[in-house]
Amino acid sequence: MPDIDLKLLYRFGFICHRKGEEPLGDEVWQAISKDWLRHPYGNFVVWLHPETTLSVCGDNDRRALVIGDAIGVGAREGRPLAQGAAAVSNGELPDVLYDYTGRFALFILEGDDALIFNDPIGSRSVFYTVTDPVAVASHAALLARAQSRSVREDMAAFVVSEPFRKRKPAYLPGDDTIHQDTYQLIANNFFDVGQRRSIRYWPSLRRVKYGFDELLAEFDNYFRSLSGFLQAKNTIVSITGGIDSRTIIAGLRYYNSVPQGVTWLRYVFNEPERAVIELVRNATKMSHRYIDENEYSANKVTVSAQENAGGFRRRSLVVAAMRDAYSAVEAPVYVRGYGGEILRAPKYRIRNTMNSMSIDDMVKAYVMGTRKQHLGDKTYLRAIEACYEGYASRVTPADCEGLDFNPNDIFYWENRIGTWGTHMMNEMDPAMYSMTGLNSRRLFEMAFGLPDEIRFPQGHPKELLRRVIGHYDPELARVPHIDGNWGKQSKQNGKTESA
C-alpha cells in the first residue's frame, strides 16, 4: 500500500460501470471502496467519494444524474440541471447545458446505454475506457486502479523524457493519459457508453457576431448566479499582478459574495507584483494572506494530489500549503482565474499559431510550451504527433472547420484549459474544493464573436477584462496589472500602454 491519504485520494470523485462488472481492482481500490458510496441505477452502478454531491431525477426507464455542482445562469438560474435534463430528449441536452456553469458531470442513464457530459470547460474531469469493461470516472488513475489497467510504456517514457519534464506547463498532449485504453473527455464532447466513443456537440452553428454591451449583460447574469452559489461558502481567490482573478473578484463583490485573497510567493511570482497586489488589497479591502509554499514539505497530501492530477506532474507544495492554511475554514472553495484567457484571446490567438485544426497545427500549438533546445528531439515530437492523431479521431476537431471560429480559440479552450486546467482542479482537491471562475459556453461564444478591435485592441488582450472590471469596480479597474506572457506592466490612468 503506498504512503497516501486514502480519504483525500480522488476526493469529490466518482466511478461508473455496468452492473455485473464490479471492479476488483488493486489494494488501493479495495481499501477506498469500503468507504465510498455505492448507488445502483438500472443497469449501472455509480460509486461516489463520501464528499461528492449527487442529484438525481427520473425513473427506471431514464435517469439524469448530476455529480458535482451545476449552477443555472440567466433563464435557468435556480433550476436544477437534473430536473431539466430528465425532461428533454437526448438531442435537446446541449441546449439545456448551454446555460449552466459550475463543476459537474451529467449522466443520462437509459437501459444499457449512458451519455456523459460535463461543464463547459470540463473542470469536473471525466475519463473513460474504450475496451472491456467500459467505465467512466473522475480520475484516470481511479479507473486504472479499479480495473487493474497498466501504464502505457510509450507514455511512461514520454513523461520522464527531458523535453516533457522541462516544459511549462506540464500536461499530456491531446486526450491521452498514461493508462491503457483510457482517455479524457474533452470539453464540447460527450461520451456515449454504447458506442464507446466521444461525440462532439459544439460548435454546431456558425459564429455569431456580438458587441461589448451584449457580453457585459451576460457577465451580469453569470456573476449573479455564481455569487449566489458561493455566498454559502468561504471563497478564496488568488490575488496576483494579473487580471483574470481580479475580474472574478470584481464580479463576486458586486453581487455581494466577498472572497478572501491569497498569493503564492513561489509560483510564477515576481517581486514587482507585490506593489500591484497591495494596490488590489487597498482597493478591495479584502482579507488576504501571502503563502510561501517552500516552507512546506512533500507529504501524504501531496502524494494524493499528484495521483489525482494524473500521475505525471511533480508533487505540489502549494497543495500542502493551502491545506494547512485553510484546514480550519468551513466550506472553503478555491475559485481559479481559469477561463479568463479564453475570453480575452489566448497567446495562440494573438500569435496566430494555428491556421486550422490539422494535426500539424495542433502539434505546433502544444510544442509552444517546450524549451527551444528540445525542439529538435524527433522522439519527443513523434510521440506528440501520435497523440494528436488519436485525438483527431476521437474528438473530431475538424468538425469545427467551416463555422467561422478561430482554431486557436477552440483549441486553447479544449486542449489547454480543458486538460491542464482540469488536472489543476483535481490536484487542489486534497486541500479544498476548487472551481473555475470563468466557465461559460455562452460567454466564450460571445467573446469569440467580438470584433478584434474590442477583444484585443492593438494586440492587447487584457484590455477586454479591464473594461469588464470597470463595470463592477472602477477603482479596481484603475489598478495596473502585470502582463505575464507579454512582459510589461500596463498603465490604466485613462490609457492602456500595453496589456
pLDDT at residue 418, rounded to an integer: 96
State how far the alpha carbon of 216 is from the alpha carbons of 99, 211, 212, in Å. Answer: 16, 9, 6
What phi and psi values does residue 85 have, to the nearest 5 degrees?
-70, -35
At residue 485, does pLDDT exceed 60? no
Residue 379's pLDDT band, with cuts at 50, 70 and 90, is very high
Q: How far apart are the C-alpha atoms of 71 and 439, rounded to whole Å?
A: 11
Q: Mean of the per-residue pLDDT values for the chain?
A: 94
| Distance (Å, whole) CA 165 – CA 118 | 30
The answer to whether the CB of 479 falls within 8 A of the CB of 247 is: no
C-alpha cell at 15: 466511478
Q: What count of other Cβ atoms lies within 10 Å of the Cβ of residue 384?
A: 24
Which pLDDT does position 437 carry in this prediction?
A: 97
pTM for the full predicted model? 0.95
Of the pLDDT bands very low, low, confident and very high (cuts 50, 70, 90), residue 484 is low
pLDDT for residue 293 is more than 50: yes
Beta-bridge mates of residue 65: 56, 107
The span from the CA of 184 to the CA of 90, in Å, is 22
Q: What is d(CA 197, CA 129) in angstroms, rounded to the nearest whole number? A: 9
Look up residue 436 and give its three cell numbers: 473555475
92 and 85 in contact (C-beta within 8 Å)?
Answer: no
Contacting residues for 399 by C-beta, under 8 A, at least 6 apart: 200
Cα–Cα distance measured from residue 196 to residue 132, given in angstroms and rounded to the nearest whole number: 10
Q: Any bridge partners for residue 334, and if so which?
A: 236, 434
In b/e form, how buried is each residue of 302-334, taking b as 16+ CB within 10 angstroms?
bbbbbbbbbbbbebbbbbbbbbbbbeeeeebbb
pLDDT tens digits, 7-36:
999 999 999 999 999 999 999 999 999 999
pLDDT given for residue 3 in this prediction: 80
Mean pLDDT of 312-326: 93
Q: What's the whole-number mean pLDDT along residues 183-197?
A: 97
Binning pLDDT at 50, 70 and 90, where does residue 490 land?
A: very low
Q: Which residues neighbour 70 within 8 Å (Cβ) at sequence distance 6 or greater?
A: 80, 81, 82, 100, 101, 102, 104, 106, 119
Between 170 and 176, where is the model more confident? 176
Contacts of 405 (CB under 8 A, 6+ apart): 203, 207, 448
Cell of 339: 477561463
Side chain identity at residue 393, one-letter code = S
Tell me: cis bond preceding 133? Omega within 30 of 0 counts.
yes
Query: Which residues are CB-contacts of 473 (< 8 A; sequence separation ≥ 6)?
Result: 250, 253, 254, 283, 284
Query: What whole-number percentage of the chain has pLDDT above 90?
Result: 90
Phi (first) and psi of residue 232, to 5 degrees: -90, 5
Task: Give the lowest-confidence range in 7-16, 421-430, 489-498.
Answer: 489-498
The whole-number pLDDT of residue 270 equals 80
pLDDT at 1: 66
Quick one: average pLDDT of 378-404?
Answer: 96
Among the residue ranges 37-46, 247-256, 445-454, 479-488, the one predicted with the least confidence is 479-488
Q: What's the sign of the alpha-carbon dihedral 349, 353, 354, 355?
A: positive
Q: Which three cell numbers stand for residue 421?
A: 486546467
pLDDT at 268: 72
Question: CB 68: neighbour CB atoms within 10 A?
Answer: 24
HEC secondary structure over the chain = CCCCCCCCCCCCCEEEEECCCCCCCCHHHHHHCCCCEEEEECCEEEEECCCCCEEEEECCCCEEEEEEEEEECHHHCCCCHHHHHHCCCHHHHHHHHCCEEEEEEEEEEECCEEEEEECCCCCCCCEEECCCCCEEECCHHHHHHHHCCCECHHHHHHHCCHHHHHCCCCCCCCCECCECCEEECCCCEEEECCCCEEEECCCCCCCCCCCHHHHHHHHHHHHHHHHHHHCCCEEEEECCCCCHHHHHHHHHHHCCCCCEEEEECCCCCCCCHHHHHHHHHHHHCCCEEEECHHHCCCCHHHHHHHHHCCCCCCCCHHHHHHHHHHCCCCCEEEEECCCHHHHHCCHHHHHCCCCCCCHHHHHHHHHCCCCHHHCCCHHHHHHHHHHHHHHHHHHCHHHHCCCCCCHHHHHHHHHHHHHHHHHHHHHHCCCCEEEECCCCHHHHHHHHCCCHHHHCHHHCCHHHHHHHHHHHCHHHHCCCCECHHHCCECCCCCCCCCC
What are the chain's domains? 14-150+184-200 (3.60.20.10), 212-342+418-486 (3.40.50.620)
492: pLDDT strictly greater than 50: no
Q: Residue 332: pLDDT above 70?
A: yes
The length of the chain is 499
Is the pLDDT at 489 greater than 80? The verdict is no
Can you tell me the mean pLDDT for 74-81?
96
Specify the higher pLDDT residue, 276 or 489.
276
Contact 148, 79 (CB under 8 A): no
Q: Which residue has the cell 516533457?
A: 164
